[in-house]
Structure 1
Amino acid sequence: MAGGTIHQHLEAAQHARSAGQRDVARKHLEAVLAIDSEEPSARNLLGVDALERQDAGASADHFEIACRREPDNRGHWINLATARRMLGNAAAEEAALEKALTLDQTDLLALIRLAELYERQGRSAKAADRWRAVIQLSSHIEDPSPEFLAIVERAKNAVREEKRQLATAVADALDAELSEASVRDRRRMQAASDAWLGKRAIYANHCEGLHYPFLPADEFFDREHFTWLEQLEAATAVVIEELKAVLATPDVGLVPYISMPEGMPANKWSELDKSLDWGALHLWKEGERNDAVCARVPRTAALLESLPLPRISGRAPNAFFSILKAGAHIPPHTGVTNVRSVVHLPLIVPAGCAFRVGGETRSWRVGEAFVFDDTIEHEAWNRSNEDRAVLIIDTWNPHLSEHERAMIRRLYEAADRQRLG
Structure 2
Amino acid sequence: MSVGAEPKKIFVESQAMVRQGDARGALSFLQNAAPQLSGHVDFHMNVAIAQRALGDLPAAIKALNSALAIDPYAFMAMLSKGAILEQMGELRKAAEVYKDVLRIAPPESERPASLAPPMQRAQEVVDQQSAAMAEHFRAALGPLMKEYGGESLTRFEECMDVVAGVKRVYNAEPVQVHYPRLPAIPFFDRSYFPWFETLEAATETIQGELQTLMNEGLPGFKPYIQYAPGTPENQFKPLNHSDNWSSLWLWKDGKPQQEAMARCPKTTAILAQLPLADQPDFAPTALFSALAPHMKIPPHTGSTNTRLLVHLPLVLPGPAGFRVGNEVREWRIGEAWAFDDTIEHEAWNDADQTRVIMIFDIWNPLLSAAERSMISALLGTHRDWLAESGK
Give yes or no for TM over 0.5. yes
Greater RCO (CA < 8 Å, at least 6 residues apart) = 2
Cα displacement string for residues 375-413 of structure 1 (whole angstroms, at most 9, x for unaligned residues): 233332223220111011110012211110121223334
Find out whether 1:173 has 2:145 as its counterpart. no
**1:295, 1:159 → 2: CA distance?**
56
Q: 1:368 aligns with which of 323, 331, 335?
A: 335
Q: From the superposition, tell whether residues 127 and 239 of structure 1 become closer, same or farther in structure 2 (CA, over 3 Å).
A: same
- AA partner of residue 333 (structure 1): H
Unaligned regions of 5+ residues in structure 2, if any? 1-16, 18-23
Find out whether 1:236 has 2:203 as its counterpart. yes
RMSD: 4.8
Q: From the superposition, tell whether residues 254 and 359 of structure 1 become closer, same or farther in structure 2 (CA, over 3 Å).
A: farther
Q: Name 1:24's counterpart in structure 2.
A: none
Cα displacement string for residues 33-52 of structure 1 (whole angstroms, at most 9, x for unaligned residues): xxxxxxxxxxx98x98xxxx
- AA partner of residue 193 (structure 2): F
Q: 1:311 aligns with which of 278, 288, 292?
A: 278
Find out whether 1:267 has 2:233 as its counterpart. yes
**1:403, 1:297 → 2: CA distance?**
34
Q: Name 1:204's counterpart in structure 2.
A: 171
Q: CA deviation at 1:131?
A: 5.9
Question: Please, which moves more after superposition, 293-302 or 368-377?
Answer: 293-302
Q: Name 1:258's counterpart in structure 2.
A: 224
Find out whether 1:336 has 2:314 as its counterpart. no
Q: From the superposition, tell whether residues 398 and 94 of structure 1 become closer, same or farther in structure 2 (CA, over 3 Å).
A: same
SS in 2 for 1:244: helix
Question: Please, which moves more after superposition, 319-328 or 151-160?
Answer: 151-160
Q: CA deviation at 1:356?
A: 2.7
Where in structure 2 are the equivalents of 1:100-249 lying within 5 Å? 124-130=91-97, 158-176=125-143, 180=148, 185-186=153-154, 188-248=155-215
Find out whether 1:286 has 2:253 as its counterpart. yes
Cα displacement string for residues 318-351 of structure 1 (whole angstroms, at most 9, x for unaligned residues): 1111112223333333222221110001111122
Cα displacement string for residues 243-281 of structure 1 (whole angstroms, at most 9, x for unaligned residues): 213322x37432314364664456244543444322222
Question: Please, which moves more after superposition, 399-408 or 151-160?
Answer: 151-160
TM-score using structure 1 length: 0.65
Q: CA deviation at 1:183?
A: 8.0
Q: Name 1:384's counterpart in structure 2.
A: 351
TM-score using structure 2 length: 0.69
**1:74, 1:157 → 2: CA distance?**
27
- AA partner of residue 175 (structure 1): G
CA contact under 8 A between 1:257 and 1:278: conserved in structure 2? yes
SS in 2 for 1:240: helix
Q: From the superposition, tell whether residues 312 and 92 of structure 1 become closer, same or farther in structure 2 (CA, over 3 Å).
A: closer
**1:261, 1:151 → 2: CA distance?**
41
CA contact under 8 A between 1:254 and 1:281: conserved in structure 2? yes
Find out whether 1:411 has 2:369 as its counterpart. no
CA contact under 8 A between 1:94 and 1:114: conserved in structure 2? no
Compare CA radii of gyration and give the structure with the larger one: 1
Unaligned regions of 5+ residues in structure 1, if any? 1-17, 19-43, 49-62
**2:77, 2:243 → 1: CA distance?**
59
**1:418, 1:335 → 2: CA distance?**
22
